[in-house]
Structure 1
């Protein structure tokens, strides 16, 4: 272990020297200007220091003023340390991310079709580059030719390679990832400095974090309270003069700092940065802090069935011949699935082979690949027969077009399969439907409990699927979602989102394909898959580096925790101020204004010690709450109004009682020491 490792605090993620340096650098007026409460504390330090120096030079008592100056300085340093610590939690990732970005070379295609090596920093949006096996992808983009196995561990932390292919919903690639096999052509999607990797580095370093709307609103509230208490404290000077009480400027400064919401003002940046850090640890890239914040306020979740609710790996588990022999049906299903590269098509081939049915190899056959438009695959054999396999409605139309008729009992079998939660596929030879295949998907373990938790949080879940209504209803009932959209199209998803938004609800959805882009852009929270198309990644305001559709449920929990933490600590800070108000004013004025004596329940040793005890408590409560601000308040499965009520009870009541106990204890210590 080297010296650098010894100095690093495993909890903080940085050395004590780095923490102190970061806190001191934030004393710059340009930084304090962006935080009104901390700016007031900074001005208070200067004013108290000047009066302390004046009394020292004049030979007067200067201990109280100097103590106030010192304690206020520690208050400001503790506040700066909270922000420094929050930013440092993500910086450990930045060095490795920069290493993945630096010194990359690119093989760029010229307008004439030639290839030339250039630095990655020279690439621009729209450039086409070739990346070969064992090379690092130098820029974000979309594969336009070829397919490759890619190691994305540099940005996702997952060592298992993934497959990316042109013309599919898994065509997106990111800078810093490594091509393991084959050669691909990639169209660059971002200019230097704005790629996913650059955005991630900026986020973990806290360089480009902007305040969210709620954070801005809270900042305005804090500023307003600061102004109100400033007027209150200023008015105390003539009141004190009238009552014959001498209140020095440093004492009034200390009183002001104790009464304004310094606690939440100090912790607010740390709460926001920590929220972004939690998102980054979940391998989520937010285009702004607003995206994470909105996640905590979502009312409706649109979730794709495949890969989110189910495992997404549908397999053939039943094959039912209709009016033909098993051999004929199996042969038709086998041959028509050879041109279907989807997991479903492959599973049919595997199912038939495992059944021990021997299929003769076909020669001079014309295979028809599966396409999303026709929703069928098939083969035209040399003997003139045409075989098709696909969605029941698509194959039924094809049979009717050939002049055939559908068996009367087919609808019963299709409905039976659909009601069981499986997906029915039909197989036809020429004008005759010869059988039905059942594709079963498996509901993810624990998904029902997660939906139940979201329901308790007041969030409505809607499953989106291309399945027919019967299959969709069966899976929706098993998974425990609130509603479902069957036979979903891009237009239908877009309309559902708009309908809910018109009702004043915030909507979130997940997608990875080009056809998901309109809905992702329309949704208040759009989670795009990193492996998806460039259109989807551009439309969403959150990108999941793991490309896990189920991550949307985690996003909601991260956003909810951010909002609950901010609300809890704001409640604690404001009730703290109320408590300190009723501690300090009676202590200062009770001797000269007997009517306030009844409120002086703490019976503090002296007005000077009361002020010092209050400012010491005010300074110490900030570092005491830093771990909670960084870790976040635990979010229980409750609705928003219940969470708010719990915050008022635990943090509101706690913030009201704690100052009385702590200030009295500090006063006893001061009375014994001084």
Structure 2
């Protein structure tokens, strides 16, 4: 009989969480003060494109004061709105992290800590948490808050970390191993622990989280810097062109005012992507925060989008981590019910996940004899079971149970070894079940097949990664045969079996020498070298301080599967930036057809053929183009925050899709938008 084990874990096949698709009035109201503060030229220096727009807005305002006109004031107002909308995009993106930052600040309320005096025989003194320094040792008992980041050096306790991770389930923290790290501000629910503080005030993990979610430490990524340089270069070119155009137009007899040339300049430079570039980067990090992943830099998010190789631990990432009973195979002459009943009796005292999974598999509870003595599982005996008058049952490793059967006068049938070998070859773990009755010799009843269960949906996720051109490598300490069986079932591309920390590091370096970008996750001190070497290293929040310092991302949920989502978010960031850049450049084409004919048609009537939108007048054409240039920024803010929808496919397919959607769309939308605005603007008296 084959039954599917009960699975209580969540399906890892989740996708990138989308931000709201509409910019609400509340969002605008909350972000507007910050946007107005960003109009300071000293702030706009970081965005040269928008600085030029602001200078242009100031210049046209002065011109309108000196020589008032309806067109002048309309152009001035909408140029100022263009600058405000650009600042608003960044302000809205930054504002989305304020709520989470506020909840994190609640963790930083000053508490009283019980600090152990050095060399004073373990006596305690009460101090403010803000007075603690790295190296201090404190005692925290049930109901108390951990006063600062640290490592548990004594005891074990249940800790509520929901304020940090968002998960309501408490976690166990204990001295030694990879689960000793604790975060300041979290609540101890039970027992007593002694903690050595590892950070000074103002430098805690929560402080770093607040800085990251608020964007105060965000650094521009290499690609973002390169694109900013390109946009700046284009802006300089158009400044020179428009400045030269003044004298060219004057020479040809089609004299143009500096007001018109300023409007032309703002419409030709890449204001759309210039205004949204910073917001796209901030929103990419914010999407990670919403998935409970903190990126230490924008560079890490960007690198995630370029990942070629993904290293994943088998246990807890590809599989559920606990081997579960998959089936019970009776030997010849024994009924399935008889083998199941013996397996249940032998598992009553087995509190391991494997033992409990046998009860779940059989699906019925049985009570042992009232006078039975339970034999708990131990690493020494490698068996569990029970002894009662007239009956003893055992379940455990094949060699241990074989020795027990032979000790009680029985013989193990040859088919037992065949069943055990078949299960082992398939990557499973065999547990032999036997019984001994006083009236007979001990005998084997069957074999329990324990299987390291592959997570639901994980194969489909790997298929998606393969479609992206990403190679997946499973890392495990299992032997080659077991690793190969799990790898085949999960659908990974390659496997590294019997892996040591040195093996992981060597594999990463080998892939990087081949020009590949590598991502991996880890939680232990022994993972730190590989996390530091990887281009994207995701450390688990439950991991050691060494692991969290080595990685460039921290997963607050400590879910290794999240690495797949990190890659998707990184790719979405790159695609969004590329798509909006394409749209912005394509937009300019329509503006050429709107403004250039309007400027010269009076002197060169033949240019009227370029007025394909049939705009009402030169003045209406210029104002409509300026208004559209501003409105398209506000219209694209939700898309820059949400990100362009990412579908796993090849790079060529993604490029083709973006060119068709955002390239062609960027050509068509302005023609329609400017024409509709012209119909409205032309109705304004005095224009």
Q: How does 1:103-122 map to 2 (within 5 A)?
A: 103-112=110-119, 113-122=122-131
Alpha carbons 2:395, 2:431 under 8 Å: kept: no
- The alignment status of 1:91 with 2:103, answered yes or no, reads no
Q: How does 1:100-139 map to 2 (within 5 A)?
A: 100-112=107-119, 113-139=122-148
Partner of 1:640: 651
Partner of 2:424: 418
Partner of 1:221: 230
Partner of 1:43: 55
- The alignment status of 1:662 with 2:669, answered yes or no, reads no
Partner of 1:578: 589
Q: Compared with structure 1, are the counterparts of its residues 242 and 13 closer, same or farther at alpha carbon in structure 2 (3 Å cutoff)?
A: closer
Alpha carbons 2:158, 2:171 under 8 Å: kept: yes
Q: Distance in 2 between matches of 1:606 and 1:251?
A: 13
Q: Distance in 1 between matches of 2:70 and 2:156?
A: 75
Alpha carbons 1:509, 1:525 under 8 Å: kept: yes
TM-score by length of 1: 0.84
Aligned-residue RMSD, C-alpha: 3.6
Alpha carbons 2:624, 2:674 under 8 Å: kept: yes
SS of corresponding position for 1:107: strand
Which structure ranks higher in relative contact order (CA pairs < 8 Å, sequence separation ≥ 6)? 2
Alpha carbons 2:60, 2:75 under 8 Å: kept: yes
**C-alpha distance after superposition, 1:239-262 (max 9, x if no partner):** 101111121112111111101111
Cα offset for 1:281?
1.0
Cα offset for 1:368?
8.2
Alpha carbons 1:259, 1:580 under 8 Å: kept: yes
Alpha carbons 1:12, 1:88 under 8 Å: kept: no
Q: Compared with structure 1, are the counterparts of its residues 213 and 124 closer, same or farther at alpha carbon in structure 2 (3 Å cutoff)?
A: farther
- The alignment status of 1:621 with 2:639, answered yes or no, reads no
Q: Distance in 2 between matches of 1:229 and 1:43?
A: 14
TM-score by length of 2: 0.82
Among 492, 500, 503, the alignment partner of 2:514 is: 503
Partner of 1:24: 36
Task: Give the gaps of 5 or more residues in structure 2.
Answer: 1-20, 385-393, 402-412, 434-443
Cα offset for 1:39?
0.6
Alpha carbons 1:571, 1:652 under 8 Å: kept: yes
Q: Distance in 1 between matches of 2:429 and 2:535?
A: 31
Q: Distance in 2 between matches of 1:74 and 1:29?
A: 15
**C-alpha distance after superposition, 1:221-246 (max 9, x if no partner):** 11111111111111111110111112
- The alignment status of 1:271 with 2:280, answered yes or no, reads yes
- The alignment status of 1:452 with 2:463, answered yes or no, reads yes
Alpha carbons 2:22, 2:638 under 8 Å: kept: no
Cα offset for 1:204?
2.3
Q: How does 1:64-79 map to 2 (within 5 A)?
A: 64-79=71-86
**C-alpha distance after superposition, 1:18-75 (max 9, x if no partner):** 33322211111221111111110111111111212222xxxxx433222211110111
Q: Compared with structure 1, are the counterparts of its residues 650 and 11 closer, same or farther at alpha carbon in structure 2 (3 Å cutoff)?
A: closer
Q: Distance in 2 between matches of 1:615 and 1:424?
A: 74
Q: How does 1:522-601 map to 2 (within 5 A)?
A: 522-594=533-605, 596-601=607-612
SS of corresponding position for 2:113: strand
Q: Compared with structure 1, are the counterparts of its residues 410 and 533 closer, same or farther at alpha carbon in structure 2 (3 Å cutoff)?
A: farther
Cα offset for 1:318?
6.9
Among 165, 168, 190, the alignment partner of 2:174 is: 165
Among 173, 190, 197, the alignment partner of 1:181 is: 190
Alpha carbons 1:423, 1:471 under 8 Å: kept: no
Q: How does 1:47-446 map to 2 (within 5 A)?
A: 47-55=59-67, 61-112=68-119, 113-315=122-324, 343-344=353-354, 360=373, 415-423=421-429, 438-446=449-457
Q: Distance in 2 between matches of 1:378 and 1:172?
A: 34
**C-alpha distance after superposition, 1:191-235 (max 9, x if no partner):** 322322112212222222221221111111111111111111111
Alpha carbons 2:28, 2:92 under 8 Å: kept: no
**C-alpha distance after superposition, 1:255-300 (max 9, x if no partner):** 1110111111111121111111111111111111222221111111
Q: Compared with structure 1, are the counterparts of its residues 472 and 266 closer, same or farther at alpha carbon in structure 2 (3 Å cutoff)?
A: same
Q: Distance in 2 between matches of 1:549 and 1:295?
A: 15
Q: Distance in 1 between matches of 2:22 and 2:136?
A: 43
Q: Distance in 2 between matches of 1:13 and 1:511?
A: 42
Alpha carbons 1:149, 1:163 under 8 Å: kept: yes
**C-alpha distance after superposition, 1:492-533 (max 9, x if no partner):** 111111111111111111111222111111111111111112
Cα offset for 1:346?
7.5
Alpha carbons 2:27, 2:92 under 8 Å: kept: no
Alpha carbons 1:12, 1:85 under 8 Å: kept: no
Among 466, 471, 487, the alignment partner of 2:477 is: 466
SS of corresponding position for 2:495: strand
Count, aligned residues: 623
SS of corresponding position for 2:548: helix
